Chains A and B, each alone.
Chain A
């Protein structure tokens, strides 16, 4: 029995169930530190903390030197490792944190192996506390301007062209499918982008920030400020924290605060190699992303402390965990057997923890919402799907009476509504109502059943379903006050398309038609 993932890559049902079980276990149980279990084997330290051991950067330098010397036919070669990022990294979607956790975890193992330092763990760069490039990163092979690095695009292409072509020929059908979703149908597509962007910057400038001027500019300082980091760590749900949902991991959909602010701005402020998809050529990349991963760990521990979900909730979890990550290799250069996002949902086998850094306070100061119930999600069924002007669609969701009571007392309750969007929706919005009378017409936002209005925003180039989370607490509260909620009856979520005032509906050249893809109700 095989399941089809959103990327069209097959995975066995048994495999998915195993992954899902592991993920749920991770999601439900507190971290080892909370339970008082044995500490992690490896400690990722703050490069700028007092007492930071010099041995860490010495071992990191030794590993980099070894990787630079490996032939480009070896997957652990420094540039080959950077190409994994070029070919497969997700940005602007909810796989951003988890893919980079896997990428760093395997890289760290390779560093441990090649540096012959069995205790090596990647350091992190806490740019909130230190908004400038650490001075150590301008020394030796920690600086990509060092002579050990390839110094021109032509030399880079000459060294990597044949090995990358050989690698391309070795790709499986599943790997080629992932690459085609990214827009790469041949290795020459990749080289064209590498050269034209350009991704590879021969020195100078390998970095815009220099040892003489290592500090961030004002917008980047704001992006890494404690205020911004606290806002990035504040969301109660994974999707708001870890960037927007997308149908596959090479699609850029939307950027959460963590990715869009500190992540992006630091990349571009450091500049040079760091500005594009070959950025792992600069050793600072791994310290930057180690800090991003640390902040994900901070957010996760905050959620665990509050008994809130640490991963996507409900039906979204399967889409998230089953996404294929097919390009990682282990410390010996062999493909790994952990090939899905769910395999990296927890730090797990990488067995590291972090020294405390900026943002850690959100864990210690997190307070449960008074009378907050644990987050729950209830999947509904659809009673009518077709959506057109004058044709509403609806679903029914059975929820426990306790949820209705909690809403009546002010707790947040949301409906998740999935709509199959026609390309380029203009002039049409979708009003969401809760429990309107059967066959009611002329429903308006002024009615007591009204919950929210959904509008498609920006350009849509694909005919893909989009899921919206809308608050229904106020509608439930109003209906409860009017004694219009019956405890034993499912909630009816009704979606009514209407023309947006002042805008004529225009959906490509075709008459507007869409469909409701699913409804669920949850507390978050």
Chain B
């Protein structure tokens, strides 16, 4: 009995520690990125794939915008090629994995990486908006 109580106490400690780490990670992530909670446009049809259409403005050289899904996995990276593309505005299509949707929403975490600077959330001029859309796609045997 005493052994069982000790094991339970041990488990509780681990859970508390995990929660604390989770809070710290969330806080760290939120200071580095901007969260976009986006409603799914509609119920998906078949076959089609979910994409994010990210509208960007002028972007400095050596700067890229990384789009992550809720679990931190990279969905795609906006890395404008050439001076004209950097001048913006332009829209970039980012593939969004089906696993990113929870209920009727998709949470995207968007961060800006620039050489020699800390990762930070984008400004309103850099990322002017994000919308979700469906793209009709072909099917394969593996899907």
Q: Do A and B come from one complex?
A: yes
* Chain B interface main SS type: strand
Interface flag for A203 (CB, 8 Å):
no
> CB-CB < 8 A to B53: which residues of A?
254, 457
Stretch among B6-14, B16-24, B89-97 lining the A interface: B89-97
> CB-CB < 8 A to A308: which residues of B?
138
Partner of A254, one of B48, B66, B91: B91
> CB-CB < 8 A to B82: which residues of A?
91, 275-277
Known contacts A368-B139, A412-B48; 19 additional CB pairs below 8 A are A193-B83, A218-B74, A219-B79, A219-B113, A236-B137, A240-B135, A252-B84, A252-B90, A254-B93, A260-B76, A260-B94, A265-B79, A276-B82, A303-B138, A362-B138, A366-B139, A369-B138, A458-B90, A524-B136
Asked if B78 and A260 make an inter-chain contact with CB atoms under 8 angstroms apart, the answer reads yes
Interface flag for B77 (CB, 8 Å):
yes
| Contact A365-B93, Cβ < 8 Å, known A276-B83, A457-B129 | no
* Chain A interface main SS type: mixed
Partner of B77, one of A234, A261, A362: A261
Between A and B, 21 residue pairs with Cβ closer than 8 Å are A91-B82, A193-B83, A219-B74, A219-B79, A235-B135, A244-B91, A254-B93, A255-B91, A255-B93, A260-B76, A260-B92, A261-B94, A263-B81, A264-B79, A264-B85, A268-B64, A275-B81, A303-B138, A369-B139, A414-B136, A473-B45
Interface flag for A389 (CB, 8 Å):
no
| Binary contact readout A171-210 vs B (1 if CB under 8 angstroms, 0 otherwise) | 0000000000011000000000100010100000000000
Partner of A235, one of B77, B80, B85, B136: B136
| Contact A228-B139, Cβ < 8 Å, known A222-B76, A223-B76, A253-B90 | no
Measured CA separation A264–B76 after assembly (Å): 11
Measured CA separation A237–B53 after assembly (Å): 17
Partner of A260, one of B57, B93, B113: B93
Which of B74, B77, B95, B137 has most chain A Cβ within 10 Å? B77
Q: Which residue in chain B gives the minimum CB-CB distance to A251?
A: B84
Interface flag for B34 (CB, 8 Å):
no
Asked if A91 and B85 make an inter-chain contact with CB atoms under 8 angstroms apart, the answer reads yes
Interface flag for A256 (CB, 8 Å):
yes
Asked if A458 and B89 make an inter-chain contact with CB atoms under 8 angstroms apart, the answer reads yes
Which of B74, B82, B135 has most chain A Cβ within 10 Å? B82
Asked if A366 and B138 make an inter-chain contact with CB atoms under 8 angstroms apart, the answer reads yes
> CB-CB < 8 A to B57: which residues of A?
459
Partner of A231, one of B49, B78, B89, B129: B49
Number of A residues, CB within 8 Å of B: 60
Interface flag for B140 (CB, 8 Å):
yes
The 6 nearest A-B residue pairs measured at CB: A458-B55, A234-B137, A254-B91, A231-B95, A365-B140, A219-B77
Measured CA separation A234–B136 after assembly (Å): 8
| Binary contact readout B112-143 vs A (1 if CB under 8 angstroms, 0 otherwise) | 01000000000000001101000111111110
| Binary contact readout A271-315 vs B (1 if CB under 8 angstroms, 0 otherwise) | 000011100000000000000000000000011001010000000
Measured CA separation A91–B82 after assembly (Å): 9
| Contact A457-B91, Cβ < 8 Å, known A240-B136, A268-B81 | yes
Q: Which residue in chain A gives the minimum CB-CB distance to B76?
A: A261
> CB-CB < 8 A to B129: which residues of A?
457-458
Q: Which residue in chain A gives the minimum CB-CB distance to B115?
A: A208
Interface flag for B39 (CB, 8 Å):
no
> CB-CB < 8 A to B75: which residues of A?
222
Which of A92, A197, A199, A306 has most chain B Cβ within 10 Å? A92
Smallest beta-carbon distance A445→chain B, Å: 11
> CB-CB < 8 A to A519: which residues of B?
none
| Contact A264-B45, Cβ < 8 Å, known A236-B138, A457-B129, A458-B129 | no
Partner of A369, one of B47, B81, B141: B47
Asked if B138 and A234 make an inter-chain contact with CB atoms under 8 angstroms apart, the answer reads yes
Interface flag for A257 (CB, 8 Å):
yes
Asked if B83 and A228 make an inter-chain contact with CB atoms under 8 angstroms apart, the answer reads no
Partner of A234, one of B45, B64, B78, B135: B135
Measured CA separation A471–B134 after assembly (Å): 10
Asked if B77 and A257 make an inter-chain contact with CB atoms under 8 angstroms apart, the answer reads no
| Contact A459-B89, Cβ < 8 Å, known A222-B74, A240-B135 | yes
Interface flag for A267 (CB, 8 Å):
yes
| Binary contact readout A204-228 vs B (1 if CB under 8 angstroms, 0 otherwise) | 0000000000000011101100011
Asked if A236 and B81 make an inter-chain contact with CB atoms under 8 angstroms apart, the answer reads no
Q: Which residue in chain A gives the minimum CB-CB distance to B128?
A: A458
Interface flag for A367 (CB, 8 Å):
yes
Measured CA separation A524–B137 after assembly (Å): 9
> CB-CB < 8 A to B45: which residues of A?
412, 471, 473
> CB-CB < 8 A to A261: which residues of B?
76-77, 94-95
Asked if B91 and A199 make an inter-chain contact with CB atoms under 8 angstroms apart, the answer reads no
